[in-house]
Amino acid sequence: MKLKFTKMHGLGNDFIVVNGVNGVAGRKGTLPNFKKTGKILGDRRFGVGCDQILVLKNSKKADFKMEIYNSDGSQVEMCGNGIRCLGHYVRTHKLSRKSELSVETLAGIQIIKFLPKGLIQVDMGAPVLEGLKIPTTIHGNIVNHDVSFDGHPFQITCVSMGNPHCVIYVKNVDEYPVHEIGRMIETSSIFPKRTNVEFVELISSKEVKMRVWERGAGETLACGSGACAVGVAGVLNEVHDRKVKVNLPGGPLVIEWNQKTNHVLMTGPAEEVFEGVIQV
């Protein structure tokens, strides 16, 4: 079948967006099995190339539904940069005129707000801090926790933003072996569903620098839910304010962990790159 798609990115974290609303993506309203075709579509030499595939669908619980597939075909619960791109797609393709959108995900219903200057704010909800619910195999909150991976000692802080994150503070994030360490930690038995790994360099009480290893995708230029996890981890470790600028290789996100609501707010841009059709 021929599949229509739109290529988008949020700070360089890039996506293939497929419009499955009213069956407009493919012939006779059919959609491919993205767990099988994800590797083909995500391949940067033989496919379109992306970190993740976002499928927009109708929802009985919210304005829209978002399904997320990694470039290796695995399905995940939530993506912060992805949901901003999805919101931008809905707005620019005139699927809704609302100033706020609710989006159903495997991590629950998320709220998108459209702000001036093309910025999009996402209410990512409350972070999950209990180790077994993240999930990990460790009981209780995991803050600056000593652990060993393949015989190497680390201090980790774990947070779920609808998907699992492991935050590690380093002195120089640019020179840190993210690929080697990220791959090792992602598949550790401590994390039953694998984990995203964020490597963070502290700049000030209002600013940090971050690189991320995403489960199923490898290192990406940005990770919205990862930036949110970093914002929460910094407060738990008392190293920065509740509102912090997170500098990623693709650009900055502003993260705020609201003390009154306990929700994490993420603000950043989203861009459409091109549209196309591919045989799958």
Tokens 């699927």 belong to residue: 95
Question: Which amino acid is located at 35 in the chain?
Answer: K
Contact 266, 255 (CB under 8 A): yes
pLDDT of residue 29: 56
Contact 225, 124 (CB under 8 A): yes
- The C-alpha atoms of residue 264 and residue 89 are separated, in whole angstroms, by 23
**Sign of torsion, CA 158 105 82 113?**
negative
Taken in order of first residue, the domains within the chain and their CATH numbers are 2-115+269-279 (3.10.310.10), 131-262 (3.10.310.10)
Tokens 């407009």 belong to residue: 24
Q: What is the pTM of this model?
A: 0.90
State the chain's mean pLDDT as an integer: 95
Question: Each residue of 224-266: pLDDT tens digit?
Answer: 999 999 999 999 999 999 999 999 999 999 999 999 999 999 9
* 72-89 average pLDDT score: 94
Tokens 């502290």 belong to residue: 202
Contact 170, 176 (CB under 8 A): yes
Cα 93 to chain centroid distance, Å, stands at: 22
Tokens 């901003």 belong to residue: 84
* Residues annotated catalytic, as ranges: 79, 223
